[in-house]
Structure 1
Amino acid sequence: AFDATVHAMTTIATGGFANYDASFAAFEGASASVAIVFMILAALPFVRFVQMTAGTARPLLHDSQIRFFLKTTVFIIAGLTAWRVIHDGVTTVAGVRDVVFNVVSILTGTGYASSDYMLWGGLPVTVLFFVGLIGGCAGSTSCSIKVFRYQLLFASIKAQLRKIHSPNGMFTPRYDGRSIDEDILNSVMSFFVFFIVTLGVVAVLLGLTGLDFITSLSGASAALANIGPGLGDHIGPAGNFAGLNDGAKWLLAAAMLIGRLELMVVYAILTVKFWQV
């Protein structure tokens, strides 16, 4: 009962804290299947569940952000499953479930692990690194960059490409059939820039503490996006952060706080004008 309570709370909160070093590898497959469902639900906008109390699932089914998130999840799972079937000969239900579980865990920022995915090969590990930088939906308990910002980024890129193709045309980025306000676009672009710059700075500072490249980069990503495990022998799914030096731990703690507050709030507090007001 205690194990169930702990993992129920950290699954819905996409916190990923487990009371076993082996994380979800310590449990039977049925537990992982249940966790997969609720990690996905926790990564969806909470307001949609509130709207569903009116007795209709329409808000949940017609949200473009949710559709984009689910399509992305299925695409990544299908790709990595195909890779493991072809290259590792995985054909069992447990093997496929491992792929689904770890992809969903990293994508939603929950941070559980049901197996050591560092053993899957270079391509899957690289894909999982970038998967962690996607995140769940806006308005969910998930962290990282979030699907909504990617949708606006892609809409802006699409409008710019059309403008290059037809210089005299008027093309406005649109979301759900409506024009996107320029201030919103600017805030999204600023967030992407701040995120990338902060990720680079944290990774470099971690390198200065003596960590290797993989540990520094994946550690910065895992902390800033609040994913949990990083990559490599030290902080990968089979390791932990306990062996890192104190300087690295302080940096990672700061990065986790900045990432949880979604960067802009922290940087706003650091400006002179904030304190003058």
Structure 2
Amino acid sequence: MNRKMIYRILGNILIFEGLIMILPFLVSLIYREHTAIYFIITSMVALVIGYILANLKTENKHIYAKEGFIVVAISWIVVSLIGALPFYISGEIPSYVDAFFETVSGFTTTGSSILNNIEGLSKGMLFWRCFTHWIGGMGVLVFVLAFLPQSEGQNMFLMKAEVPGPVVGKLVSKVKMTARILYAIYAFLTALEVVFLLFGGMPLFDSIVHAFSTAGTGGYAIKNSSIAYYNSYYIDMVITAFMLLFGVNFNLYYLLMLKNVKQVFKSEELRWYILIVVAFTGIITVNTLGVYGNVAQSFRYSIFQVASVITTTGFATTDFGMWPMLSQILLLLLMVVGACAGSTGGGMKISRIMILIKSAKSSVKKMVSPRRVSTINVEGKPVDNQVLDFAYSYFVVYALIFFGSVLLLSFENLDIITTLTAPLTCLGNVGPGFGDLIGPVGNFASLSNFSKIVLSFDMLAGRLELFPMILLCYSIKDEISTLCKKTFKR
């Protein structure tokens, strides 16, 4: 393993994190808050460590798939460890484990929180908290890839390890240009949402931070009652529309830029996405009529929560824990399904669900007609066996991590709803779970530090498509094993 090259890439990422700390620092200065100093301290720590690591000399500058996965996993852990410092050293989140959980939830765009009083944070901290969503939504490394001095092949290994979905491809011939195009589209949609929210009467600061949270499909709000605080049909619909837009594969926006509209609407995954949203919204609207009394209100809350859960954003405008059981179960299913591949959303991804369903259908047909030769097609193309195997493996690993996390959380003797849905919402990067404790009007503050660390792992695993974190664990195991062998030989 090329350790020095991993350290150099990690150094570049820490330099990047140190530089972006300037933004919350400026926000703190604008609002004349003493918290500005804590962003400078954290920025200096990140820049110094980053500079030392980035300037390590190494003759071998090549990295391959294994290093790509490992450096992505380590990078997300380290940026979370450093990113938690402003919360902790300022005293606004007194526990470092809580600060780490909140930061991991931010960068992974999960949106699960330990804060009982969000409005008690300073403006600078609120900005930083939501800005982590925006950075993590498209990916820390996707941004850095636009500037990293690596070869195209190495950049592709990093991008494959971070970008969500079963298949990752380049929009154009160079990975750097692909990263720049992705972030340009991302920034444009974010700015557009800010404009629409301003038209709805939302203050400028609120509009910017909520656009960050929507773009990253994270769900951090700056009010204790989330988006419900504004009590505006217009704002609800604007955020709903943009949540759904950010849940779409960004490759399709690039096709729109090229005016290839026909190719966009040929996307099978997009059609499934629209169908699921329409069908689930319709069912929940009818099912919750008894709660809200009229179709308009029922539709308003139903489509918002469907969009919030399927895109794994996690905003809330109502307590869906009070909905009929059918509606709650449908939202639970959406937690697992997630958004489109190549979007900022989490979950298993619709494309992967499509592959698994079509594979199961093909297997049933073969049982009926053993000599039948069938091909699994997605987006009009045959699915490669490697992609199919990866989808199976992903599903199995997802289930193993979920059940393992449930087992670990069971030692805390929580109620069964919390024990089951806490790992599910963190693995899916959704945010709120079900039940009184971690539901849309609750938070994760009362959980033990052990449970918060387990759930932090789940959030990182879910955001990084599981395998980078698994490979990192294997790598650590191998390092410990090698060290033990050397020690016993002596």
Tell me, yes or no, whether TM beats 0.5. Answer: yes
- The range that moved more, 243-252 or 192-201, is 243-252
- Residue number in structure 2 paired with 1:96: 299
TM-score by length of 2: 0.54
More displaced 10-residue stretch of structure 1: 50-59 or 261-270: 50-59
CA shift for structure 1 position 94: 2.5
- Write the distance in 1 (CA, Å) between the matches of 2:216 and 2:225: 20
Distance in 2 separating the partners of 1:67 and 1:254: 33
Question: Which amino acid letter does the alignment assign opposite residue 419 of structure 2?
Answer: S
Q: What amino acid does structure 1 have at the position aligned with 2:261?
A: A
Partner of 2:455: 252
Structure 1: segments with no counterpart, 5+ residues: none
Segments ≥4 residues shifted beyond 4 Å:
272-276
Counterpart check, 1:70 vs 2:70: no
Q: Distance in 1 between matches of 2:270 and 2:349?
A: 11
How much has 1:172 moved relative to structure 2? 2.2
Task: Choose between structure 1 and 2: higher helix proportion.
Answer: 2
- Distance (whole Å) between structure 2 residues aligned to residue 273 and residue 96 of structure 1: 49
Equivalent-residue separation in structure 2 for 1:14 and 1:126 (angstroms) = 21
User: Partner of 2:329 in structure 1?
Assistant: 126
Pick the structure with greater CA Rg. 2
Distance 1:50 1:275 in 2: 42
* C-alpha contact (below 8 Å) 2:427/2:463 kept by paired residues: yes
2:284 maps to a residue whose letter is L
CA contact (8 A) 2:285 2:295 kept: no
Partner of 1:41: 245
- Superposed CA RMSD: 1.7
Equivalence for 2:440: 237
Q: Which residue of 2 aligns with 1:9?
A: 212
Distance 1:69 1:257 in 2: 24
Instruction: Say whether residues 1:269 and 2:472 are aligned partners.
Output: yes
Q: Using the TM superposition, name which of 91-100 and 198-207 deviates more.
A: 91-100
Amino acid at match of 2:265: L
Matches of 1:21 and 1:163, distance apart in 2:
54
Q: Which runs of 5+ in 2 are unaligned?
A: 1-203, 480-490
C-alpha spacing 1:56/1:181, structure 2 compared with 1 (3 Å): closer
1:249: how far off?
A: 1.4
Q: CA deviation at 1:204?
A: 1.6
Counterpart CA distance in 2 for 1:162 and 1:274 is 42
Residues 269 and 379, structure 2, Cα contact 8 Å, conserved in 1 = no
Q: Is the 8 A contact 1:29 1:94 kept in 2?
A: no
The whole-number CA distance in structure 2 between the counterparts of 1:264 and 1:12 is 25
Q: In the alignment, which of 211, 221, 232 is matched to residue 414 of structure 2?
A: 211
Classify 1:177/1:56 alpha carbon distance in 2 versus 1 (closer, same or farther; 3 Å): closer
Cα distance in 2 for residues equivalent to 1:91 and 1:64: 34
Deviations 1:23-79 (A, max 9, x none): 111111211100011001100011111221123422322211111111011111111
Q: Is 1:142 aligned to residue 315 of structure 2?
A: no
> Is the Cα contact below 8 Å between 1:268 and 1:274 reproduced in 2?
no
Q: CA deviation at 1:197?
A: 1.3
Name the amino acid aligned to 1:38. F
Please give the alpha-carbon distance, in whole angstroms, between the structure 2 residues aligned to 1:97 and 1:242. Answer: 30
1:193 counterpart = 2:393: no
CA contact (8 A) 1:209 1:247 kept: no
CA distance in 1, matches of 2:407, 2:307: 28
| Distance across 2 between alignment mates of 1:116 and 1:190 | 35
- 1:184 matched to 2:395? The reply is no
In 2, Cα distance between the equivalents of 1:106 and 1:198? Answer: 21
TM-score (norm 1): 0.94
- DSSP 3-state at the match of 1:235: coil
Identical-pair percentage: 31
Offset of residue 92 of structure 1: 4.2
> Which stretch of the first structure deviates more once superposed, 223-232 or 266-275?
266-275
Q: Number of aligned residue pairs: give it.
A: 275
Q: CA deviation at 1:272?
A: 4.9
Comparing 34-43 and 203-212, the one that deviates more = 203-212
